[in-house]
Structure 1
């Protein structure tokens, strides 16, 4: 029973991440999230008594963990090879979703925080960006980059990739991602 309960909770979180990356947080209701996950509305409030902000924060963490796993795996081959693989993953995500899916972390980060309390989802987004920057900076330092330069380059990579994904969605074309990839590869290759 506990395993089934955990499965339902995970479906809700994964479904929320998917809806947020497609529609944004403000355009997604808890009722729609429950329907998308194929779970009763009551289950959503049972698992997430903190409501939409709690669910959104967990969805952001879920998505962030998935991206972190991809980054950590791909960066084992080195910063440039890792960047190429990471950008190829984003390219597939964009093309396979017909440019409908972006990054739920960015979606939450650019929306106005709720006026009714602590913006849990926004805090989760800030944490996700920080983790990604740390993963990238560690990989750069492991390959001989000075600590300060590694930190700055990691921030640049995260910001550039997130921005490129947004541009690709708007233009319905991977050209912005390709342009950013070329410049970032040249930067990391130095």
Structure 2
């Protein structure tokens, strides 16, 4: 029975991240989350006594950490490899969900924070975006880019990828991600080859 507890909690967190990526934060309720995760409603309150705010923040952190982990691994081969891996991750996510899911971090970042839940998840989203940006910038710097340029390119990369994911969902096409890939690749190559 104790082995099932972490599994149930983790299923709620990952289900919340998935729901937010599909429906947004406002349309994600504790009751709907329990149904979506196929767990008793009482389990959500047991594992998340802080209610929607607690589970939503943890869902954003979970999604952000998963992407950061994959990005960090890919960046071991350099910033270009990291960029392509970052793009492939989102291509796969959008395609596998049949263009129904995007990024839960972007979802909460674009909703108006009307209450404490919104403010807390917005803060979590800010931290996630900063982490992704820092990972890319650090890799660019490590491979020869100037710090200011690396920071700007990393910001552009995260913003471009997130925006392209939204465009992919709207257009039901991966073309927006394909279009930014070559431009970002060229920009990164120029930045690291100048030194």
Report the TM range for the smaller structure's normalisation: over 0.9
Which residue is equivalent to 2:46?
Answer: 46
Which residue is equivalent to 2:32?
Answer: 32
SS at 1:60's partner residue?
A: helix
Which residue is equivalent to 1:100?
Answer: 100
Check the 8 A contact 1:161/1:177 in 2, yes or no: yes
Structure 1 residue 3 displacement after superposition = 3.2
Give deviations 1:108-163, integer Å, cap 9, x for gaps. Answer: 11011133577211111010001101111111111011111111111111101000
Equivalenced residues, count: 190
Which residue is equivalent to 2:76?
Answer: 76
Which residue is equivalent to 1:161?
Answer: 161
SS at 2:186's partner residue?
A: helix
CA separation of 1:129 and 1:117: change in aligned 2, threshold 3 A: closer
Which residue is equivalent to 1:171?
Answer: 171
Q: Distance in 1 between matches of 2:163 and 2:118?
A: 26
Check the 8 A contact 2:34/2:44 in 1, yes or no: yes
Residue range with higher mean Cα deviation, 58-67 or 90-99: 90-99
Q: Is residue 129 from structure 1 mapped to residue 129 from structure 2 by the alignment? A: yes
After superposing on structure 2, the runs of 4+ consecutive aligned residues of structure 1 that deviate more than 3 Å are none
Give deviations 1:7-58, integer Å, cap 9, x for gaps. Answer: 1111100110111111111111110111111111111011111111111100
Check the 8 A contact 2:53/2:116 in 1, yes or no: no
Structure 1 residue 2 displacement after superposition = 3.8
Identify unmatched segments of 5+ residues in structure 2.
Answer: 191-195
CA separation of 1:81 and 1:57: change in aligned 2, threshold 3 A: same
Q: Distance in 1 between matches of 2:84 and 2:113?
A: 33
1:14-25 matched pairs, under 5 angstroms: 14-25=14-25
TM (norm. structure 1) is 0.96
Identify unmatched segments of 5+ residues in structure 1.
Answer: none
CA separation of 1:157 and 1:118: change in aligned 2, threshold 3 A: closer
Structure 1 residue 182 displacement after superposition = 1.3
CA separation of 1:118 and 1:21: change in aligned 2, threshold 3 A: closer
RMSD over aligned CA atoms reads: 1.3
Q: Distance in 1 between matches of 2:6 and 2:180?
A: 39
Check the 8 A contact 2:136/2:154 in 1, yes or no: yes
